[in-house]
Structure 1
Amino acid sequence: MRSENNIKLTADNGWKLVWSEEFDGPEIDLSKWDYDIDGHGWGNNELQYYTNEKKNAYIEDGKLIIKALKEEYEGSPYTSAKLVTRGKLDWTYGRFEIRAKLPYGQGIWPAFWMMPTDLEIDGDWPSCGEIDIMELCGHEPNKVHGTLHMGNPHYYKGGDFTLENGAFADDFHTFTLDWTPTEMRWYIDGEIYYKSSEWYTREVEASENQPYPAPFNKPFYLMLNLAVGGNWPGYPDEETVFPQTLEVDYIRIYQPEDGNYDAHE
């Protein structure tokens, strides 16, 4: 178990730690997390069935392990897990810092992302907004993406980061999003690689744009998952190795004590 002395209580922008998940208990903490359970593609023609079984998601040596297995289950050829804080925890603005080691291989698709708690505010996806802190397509194991989804019709914008050497499966890296009322910033190991201060949305295509900074001005909850296959990453082939594991060392969320984001950007 980590002591408070081992936990970074202040981010390098001066924001203070407001919540952390160190995965130091014997089991996944269901006061913080819930499982999404189902198959049927999840809107992206994915192949896995997400379960709540310990073979797919568990704590080991102070880390969360999400494991994708090649096995028939409820009509799907693979199993995996998706953990969400929906209905338990959400946040509006802050620094979201996740240290993890990522899986690899054709058709493998890990993600750390956020969705809004209340879909009544700006409508359903995509007008509600989606914040992708980190995604990786396993056939490019040295590249990660950070993206915003919004609008009606669907509109997205984002950036990517490529390691100079090796892959994200070789070691742990820290993936960070700074979300403020007027700007989003993505980092890898403290190095900024993309930022945006322009976005918009509208609930229906024929309506006027919602006032800026909608849709990213309301509470969002956190999701962690390891998908297999899908429209974007493609599908496993004969060279894809199973099982694949997503290892998460910690998640830490920071916000300014005085609520003044402008003073600490």
Structure 2
Amino acid sequence: MLIKRRFLNTKVKIVTAVVAVGVVVGGALFTLPMDNAKGAGSPYPPTDSENWNPEPVWRDEFDGNSLDGTKWTALNGGWGDEGQQVRSCYTRSDENINVSGGSLNLIGLYKPGATCTGGNTKTGNFTSGFVQTKNKAYFKYGYIEARIKMPKNKSTWPGFWMSPNNSPYSAGWPDWGEIDIVETKGSNHQFAASDAHWRDKNTPTGQTGSHRNRQGVIPSSKFGTNNDTTEWHTYGVKWTEGKLEYFIDGEWHHTITEFKNSNSTGSPNGPFDQNFFLRLNLAIGGNYIDSPWDDPINSVGAANGEGFPATMSVDYVRVYEMRKPKEVEVKDTQLRKLLNDRLSTVFSTNRKDDQKITDVELERLTDLNLSYSNIYDLTGIEAAKNLQNLLLNNNYISDLSPLSGLTSLKILSLRNNCFADISPLAGLTSLTSLRLENQRVSVKPNDKSFASPLKDLVGNTVSVTNSAEVVNDTATPGNIQLLSLPASGASPILNAPWTRSVTIGAISATFSGTLAIDTSAIPRAGQPQPQPQPQPQPQPQPQPQPGNPSAAAHNPVNKPQNAVSGLLANTGFNAFLGVIATLALVAAGLFILR
């Protein structure tokens, strides 16, 4: 009785699953994206990538042959910050700013007597490049990174940094804030630092408060053996509410949170709670650089590429935004309960059995043991895309499609379930262990030859083991044929075992089980066949006669309107009787003459 109940329950589940799969597949085809191109990138943000969208919200790969004016503005004029003794004039000239070889290049040049325009006209000896996204691209929070190769010149001060686009905090620096993702100095190729600047709240006005910053020098060990700032490195900042976290080549090196309690803005997270834009520049000279190289004239003519020209190259700049968690539909109440139990452990919280579950939460799971759990439907588990070990033995699972995208799986065990089609597992090539034995599948055909539900990894039919009652139909490949049916009064179930060896990637597994065939819907020999019931034929409606439009209204349906029409109506029948009578007389005559 228990086995029969399981098979009956399984039949219901199979029908439900087939309908559900049809709806899901139809909806998926309708919503297939037209394009989903994705470029290569470095790992980001290194500490919690599951919380961030995989595609940048803004980017420039510098694959063209000129600066993209829709994204960047090139600064023109000025000699930099005279208070910091910067000696370079920023120009828009191609010799100072160009895009080539897949990189943005900011180039410092020794130009004796150069005239710098763009406001306060002056003359000097050095020119360079400076680009920014002010009023074109600005962001509040996100992960911002750039891959940069710094110059070798001893007198260079390159930077990748951010400033507020329109700050409500005071009218000047440092009240409005500054985020320095990376700064280096040519006088020390092992030196790189990240920083932030703001003003503290020592006084109500804020203006007389102290300038605050908290610099984090990148450990030289982060650059690797025989490596320094003059090689390619990826510098990034993860900027979230109340926190700035800095990275180099995917590794954390510095965090700043002090501004939360000491800024002069009156806002708990100010000034770093506004939109900031991006800046890339190559300063020449300045007091950030070690003496004597702070005066760039001392590096003119330096050997080994440490003189001029000096080039800061940028491979790409990318900005990512945090994901907005989406609720995952988990149809099976038992599966939802078990997932919430596991998430309670992962997040060290108390969760209700029926609590809503998000995709971001499920991505935290790497191991699940759901064996012996009375699970019928795996819908929702597809969001746990970082699962590596999944045990689902001894359940009632009939549809494996939710597992098709779990490409990080290494161990998958599905013994003693109810599935007939293993094609959804074909793409799980990372598996190192797979168990598929002892499946319990039931069907109820209405003919002795019927399509087999058993499918292998590529969708081909899996053969059953031939017996005296059940064989693989050679006349109709893909069908199963019943050679005989159970006797009347006996159990209508015929069992057909199957075994198939399958290979996914580098591993092999055995897909096996028993197909329970319910023959109760197949007619037996000698069993009366249901006869189709005759359908009543529609009767023609009488048509009004010309000149007498009301005639139909005064005569019952199908009744002749006069004696002539009645006679005509019986003419065919009378002729038939005449023929019969004539034949009878002829036969009688022949009998008498015999």
Alignment TM-score, normalising by the size of structure 2: 0.41
Q: Distance in 2 between matches of 1:249 and 1:51?
A: 21
Q: 2:88–2:125: 8 Å Cα contact kept in structure 1?
A: yes
1:43-67 deviation per Cα after TM superposition (whole angstroms, max 9, x unaligned): 4221010000101111111111111
Aligned to 1:108: 156
Aligned to 2:136: 88
Q: Distance in 2 between matches of 1:145 and 1:235?
A: 21
Deviation larger for 57-66 or 160-169 = 160-169
1:187-240 deviation per Cα after TM superposition (whole angstroms, max 9, x unaligned): 1111111112221322xxxxxx52221000000000000000112212222445
1:115-159 deviation per Cα after TM superposition (whole angstroms, max 9, x unaligned): 001133343101100000000011111111100011043111120
Matched, 1:251 2:317: yes
Matches within 5 A, 1:78-227: 78-151=126-199, 152-164=209-221, 165-169=226-230, 171-199=231-259, 200-202=262-264, 210-227=266-283
Change (3 A) 1:26 1:183: same
Q: Distance in 1 between matches of 2:324 and 2:229?
A: 36
Aligned to 1:69: 109
Aligned to 1:205: none
Q: Distance in 2 between matches of 1:196 and 1:157?
A: 7
1:84-129 deviation per Cα after TM superposition (whole angstroms, max 9, x unaligned): 1012110001101110111123321000000001133343101100
Q: Distance in 1 between matches of 2:219 and 2:126?
A: 28
1:146-197 deviation per Cα after TM superposition (whole angstroms, max 9, x unaligned): 000110431111201133333211x210001100012111111111111122
Aligned to 1:6: 40
Q: Distance in 2 between matches of 1:71 and 1:213?
A: 44
Q: 1:132–1:148: 8 Å Cα contact kept in structure 2?
A: yes
User: Which structure 1 residue ranges, 4+ long, deviate > 6 Å from structure 2?
Assistant: none
Q: 1:122–1:215: 8 Å Cα contact kept in structure 2?
A: no
Q: Distance in 2 between matches of 1:119 and 1:45?
A: 27
More strand by share: 1
Q: CA deviation at 1:259?
A: 8.1
Q: Distance in 2 between matches of 1:5 and 1:65?
A: 21
Q: Distance in 2 between matches of 1:134 and 1:123?
A: 25
Matches within 5 A, 1:15-54: 15-16=52-53, 17-43=56-82, 44-54=84-94
Aligned to 2:288: 232
Q: Distance in 1 between matches of 2:211 and 2:295?
A: 24
Q: 2:147–2:234: 8 Å Cα contact kept in structure 1?
A: yes
Q: Distance in 2 between matches of 1:54 and 1:259?
A: 45
Deviation larger for 99-108 or 51-60 = 99-108
Deviation larger for 24-33 or 192-201 = 192-201
Q: 1:82–1:224: 8 Å Cα contact kept in structure 2?
A: yes
Alignment TM-score, normalising by the size of structure 1: 0.89
**Partner of 2:127: helix, strand, or coil?**
strand
Q: Distance in 1 between matches of 2:157 and 2:163?
A: 18
Q: Distance in 2 between matches of 1:18 and 1:79?
A: 33
Deviation larger for 230-239 or 122-131 = 230-239
**Partner of 1:40: helix, strand, or coil?**
coil
**Amino acid paired to 2:309:** P
Structure 1 residue runs of 5 or longer lacking an equivalent are: 203-208
**Partner of 1:141: helix, strand, or coil?**
strand
Deviation larger for 151-160 or 76-85 = 151-160
Aligned to 2:577: none
Q: 1:83–1:224: 8 Å Cα contact kept in structure 2?
A: yes
Aligned to 2:308: 242
Q: 2:87–2:124: 8 Å Cα contact kept in structure 1?
A: yes
Q: 2:42–2:250: 8 Å Cα contact kept in structure 1?
A: no
Give the aligned length.
253
Higher alpha-carbon Rg: 2
Q: CA deviation at 1:11?
A: 4.5
Indicate the percent of aligned positions where both proteins have the same amino acid.
30
Q: Distance in 2 between matches of 1:5 and 1:85?
A: 22
Q: Distance in 1 between matches of 2:39 and 2:239?
A: 26
Change (3 A) 1:186 1:11: closer
**Partner of 1:216: helix, strand, or coil?**
coil
